[in-house]
Chain A
Amino acid sequence: EVQLVESGGGLVKPGGSLRLSCVASGFIFDKAWMSWVRQAPGKGLEWVGRVKSDTDGGTTDYAAPVKGRFIISRDDSRNTLYLQMNSLRTDDTAVYYCTTDMKDRAVATAFDHWGQGTPVTVSS
Chain B
Amino acid sequence: QSALTQPASVSGSPGQSITISCTGTSSDIGGYNYVSWYQQHPGKAPKLMIYDVTKRPSGVSNRFSGSKSGNMASLTISGLQTEDEADYYCSSYATPSHVFGGGTTLTVL
User: Which A residues are closer than 8 A to B by beta carbons?
Assistant: 35, 37, 44-47, 61, 63-64, 97, 102, 104, 107-117
| A114 touches which of B46, B97, B99 (Cβ 8 Å) | B46
Interface of A (DSSP majority class): strand
B97/A61 in contact, CB under 8 A: yes
A45/B34 in contact, CB under 8 A: no
Question: What distance in Å separates the Cβ of A15 from its nearest Cβ neighbour in chain B?
Answer: 26
Question: What distance in Å separates the Cβ of A69 from its nearest Cβ neighbour in chain B?
Answer: 16
Q: How large is the interface on B (under 10, 10 to 19, 20 to 34, 35 or more residues)?
A: 20 to 34
| B51 touches which of A45, A47, A102, A107 (Cβ 8 Å) | A102
B93/A111 in contact, CB under 8 A: no
Encode contact with A along B27-52: 1 for CB under 8 Å, 0 otherwise: 00000101010100000011110011
B91/A45 in contact, CB under 8 A: yes
